[in-house]
Amino acid sequence: MARSRKVTVSTDAHGHTAGWAEAGPAATPPEPDPTAAAFFDVDNTMMRGASIYWFARGLAARDYFTTGDLARFGWQQLRFRLLAREHAGDMSQAKQAALAFIEGWRVDDVERLAEEIFDELMAPRIWAGTRGLAQRHLDSGERVWLVSAAPVEIGRVIATRLGLTGAIGTVAEIVDGAYTGRLVGDLMHGPAKAEAVTQLAAVEGLDLARCAAYSDSANDLPLLSTVGRAVAVNPDGVLLRRAREHGWEVRDFRTGRRAVKVAVPSTAAAGLLAGAVSAGLALHRRRRAD
């Protein structure tokens, strides 16, 4: 069955002897349920780390800004991990940073860079276990969407590379093929994810009670509470406690001490990373002009 690549909503692993034996007739695959789907968060759920951070790393490798700028990105990520909470002021800064990050860029340039950087830096960091969970849904004939605070164009590249249905993400205004620096709506974060999935379900004829959602962060509790099956993947402490309280399934693909150390970058951190990227891009443009 062909899978649609729709990405918008209504308003981003590759001696012994072997033997084979036939196991008998193959089991008949289950009938696809057109009302069921799965929604996966990206950062630390589908991949290790924040997609916007790896995008920034890729831009740094292309001389869009300096390694010193990148070190500041890492410090910002660590700072928000240690704080382990978000404030309204931080989210305001995140939105402003997202605006600055994309202003003046052409959509096709962002998508080209996202494709290159995914192949170089993001693909090796996809959690094989989470990817396998998504594949199970696909094999059952269900559609699978990524739901991320990252720009929807980056989410779409990740979804395409992974063979998923599409992506829900932060939407930026585009005029004549270029970003204006204004967002359409708000950052795809917290309750906004639940609202977007609810809208998508109405458009696509999905029964949310038959759908599943996967996330690592307590920030996505509204999304997880919207569907019939919630799964905590590599969960932070708050989400782990809530998952146990509600009897939700928990999947942790981290091992040993790594499970304690892996960051859970907040959307606010991602927004500030974008702000630092935007500053680097502005410097890069000034250098070219000189």
Where in the sequence numbering do the catalytic residues fall?
Answer: 41, 43
Q: DSSP 3-state assignment of 112?
A: helix
Give whole-number Cα distances, 122 to 51, 71, 157, 180, in Å: 7, 18, 11, 27
Q: Which residues pair with 179 in a beta bridge?
A: 174
Residue among 274, 206, 290 nearest 53 (CA): 274
Quick check: 226 and 208 in contact, CB under 8 A? yes
- First and final C-alpha spacing in the chain: 54
Measured over all CA atoms, what is the biggest interatomic distance in the chain, rounded to whole angstroms?
71
Residue among 278, 269, 281 nearest 101 (CA): 278
Instruction: Name residues whose C-beta falls within 8 Å of residue 159's C-beta, 6 or more positions apart in sequence.
Output: 5, 7, 12, 145, 146, 165, 166, 167
